[in-house]
Structures are given as C-alpha cells and as structure tokens.
C-alpha cells in the first residue's frame, strides 16, 4: 500500500502533500507535541519515507511554516479602493480567519520557546510582519515612512499580534469586536502620534477626509466624543 502510494505521487507532489499534512497537525497542537510518526500516519506513508523527503521534524516544521507565512501574507492584500477603515477591517477579518484556523500552532510559534524558536522561524515571522508593513504604507499612499509613522505602523502590527494571542487564550471577547477594535486602535495610535507631530497630523487628516459618516472611524469619533467629560 505504502509503495503503491509512493509510485503514484511525484517527488514534489509528495513533498507538498507532507507539508499540508504537517501544517494541519502543527496548527492544531504545539509543534513539540507532534511526532514524525503521526505525520507519517496522517499522510498514509512510512516513517522512513517521511525522512526521505525531509531530514527531520524541524525542516518539515519550517516548510509548513513557510506555507502558512505565504498564506497569511496573501491575506493582507487588499484593493486600494474605498475608505481606509473598511479596507483595514476586511484585512482584520481575514487575519482572524487565519489565526482561528491555526490557533494552537500560532500561539506556540509567537510565544517562542525551544521547540519553535530558530533563526529560520524568526526570519519567516519577520517576513510576514514586513509584508503587512509594506501593504499598510501602500494603502496610506506613503513611499518612505517617517520615524513616527514607522513606529505607529510597526507597533500596531505588534498590537494586532498580541490581541490575536490574547483572543486565542480563552476567546473571551467575540472576534468581530476585536477586528473593529484593531481598526480603531490604528486610528487611535495614529491620532496620539499626530497630536505631537505635524506630518502625522497631515496624514491623519487626509485619511479622515475619505472616511464615510457611517464608517468605523467616524463611529469611533462619535463614541469618544460622547465619552469625554462635559
């Protein structure tokens, strides 16, 4: 049976199948809880055959992670049309889909640790952050970010990561609420920066002009105004 399956699949096809099987297993549990035996069994092949394609669990883990990273980076792509708040909200929805699909693996990876922390995995995480960063600057219509805009964008990306991790730990707040909240957090962090920096203020005014009266940004401003002491 094993040999039969082996004959039917080409080398690259088999590698891709193994990566898919491994990604599924690594997504649902912490990587150190997943064994090569389990991956072999889920792929319907023998343990030695897994080693024929990947020298060890780490290389299979890194290949699975690479596929996940490409998948996530692709979800950041969003047409540059319509108000910015609505665009960001759609991206957040796809981001939380990803986090939901890969929950335990995402937590294990982002919280680091001996089983997952390596130069290769860190480089992959950074490549996804960089993809998010480049997308956001493109949507803001900015080619080279000033130090303050750079800080707002990078620190917001980090905030999105930590919000997702906190959500996964018990799912005590509905994710739809967190998706809207992260859009607002972006506006809030940009506004804090804009309060002290004229360049950020110009950028924020340009964004707000395009926001519809019933969009997430305007909604936030109305709610904040209601909150302010009389």
Binding mask 140-159 for a second copy (x = CB under 8 A): -------xx-xx--xx--xx
Site membership for a second copy, residue 93 (CB under 8 A) = no
CB 225 within 8 A of CB 195: no
Does the footprint of a second copy cover residue 188 (CB under 8 A)?
yes
Q: How many residues bind a second copy (CB under 8 A)?
A: 49
Smallest separation, CB 182 to a second copy (Å):
9
7 or 172: CB nearest a second copy: 172
43 HSE (CA, 13 A, CB side): 33
Using the contact rule CB under 8 A, the part of the chain among 3-11, 89-97, 100-108, 178-186 near a second copy is 178-186
Region from 4-12, 60-68, 86-94, 194-202 binding a second copy, contact rule CB under 8 A: 194-202
- The answer to whether the CB of 18 falls within 8 A of the CB of 47 is no
Q: Specify whether the CB–CB gap between 39 and 60 falls below 8 A.
A: yes
Per CB under 8 A, 122 contacts a second copy = yes
Q: Does 193 bind a second copy (CB under 8 A)?
A: yes
58 binds a second copy (CB under 8 A): no
Q: Is 228 in the site for a second copy (CB under 8 A)?
A: yes
Which stretch, 17-25, 45-53, 87-95, 198-206, contacts a second copy (CB under 8 A)?
198-206
Query: Structure tokens of 25?
Result: 């297993």
List b or e across 42-54, with b for residues whose CB sees 16 or more CB atoms inside 10 angstroms: ebebbeebbeebb
Residue 67 φ then ψ, to 5°? -65, -45
Q: Which is nearer to a second copy, 52 or 205 (CB)?
A: 205
User: DSSP secondary-structure letter at 30?
Assistant: -
Category of 34 on φ-ψ map: left (φ > 0), alpha (ψ -120 to 50) or beta: beta
Q: What angle do the packed helices 84-101 and 175-194 form, to 10 degrees? A: 130
Number of helices and strands (H, E) in the chain? 12, 0
Q: Is 195 in the site for a second copy (CB under 8 A)?
A: yes
Instruction: Give the tokens for residue 216.
Output: 């997430």
Q: How far is the CB of 22 from a second copy (least distance, A)?
A: 21
Q: What residues line the site for a second copy (CB under 8 A)? A: 111-114, 117-119, 122, 147-148, 150-151, 154-155, 158-159, 161-163, 166, 170, 172-173, 177-178, 180-181, 184-185, 188-189, 191-196, 201, 204-205, 208-209, 220-221, 223-224, 227-229
């Amino acid at each position: 049976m094993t040999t039969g399956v082996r004959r039917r699949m080409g080398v690259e096809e088999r590698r891709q199948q193994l990566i898919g099987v491994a990604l599924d297993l690594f997504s649902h549990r912490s990587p150190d809880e997943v064994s090569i035996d389990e991956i072999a069994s889920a792929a319907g092949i023998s343990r030695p055959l897994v080693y024929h394609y990947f020298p060890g669990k780490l290389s299979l883990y890194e290949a699975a992670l690479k596929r996940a990273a490409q998948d996530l980076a692709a979800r950041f792509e969003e047409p540059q049309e319509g108000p910015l708040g609505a665009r960001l909200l759609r991206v957040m929805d796809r981001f939380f889909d990803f986090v939901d699909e890969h929950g335990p693996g995402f937590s294990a990876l982002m919280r680091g640790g001996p089983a997952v922390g390596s130069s290769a995995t860190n480089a992959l995480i950074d490549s996804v952050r960089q993809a998010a960063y480049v997308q956001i600057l493109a949507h803001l219509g900015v080619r080279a970010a000033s130090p303050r805009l750079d800080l707002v964008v990078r620190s917001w990306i980090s905030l999105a990561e930590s919000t997702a991790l906190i959500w996964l730990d018990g799912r005590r707040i509905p994710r739809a609420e967190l998706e809207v909240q992260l859009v607002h957090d972006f506006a809030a962090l940009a506004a804090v920066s804009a309060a002290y920096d004229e360049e950020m203020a110009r950028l924020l005014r340009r964004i707000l002009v395009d926001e519809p009266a019933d969009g997430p940004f305007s909604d936030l401003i109305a709610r904040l105004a209601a909150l302010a002491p009389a």
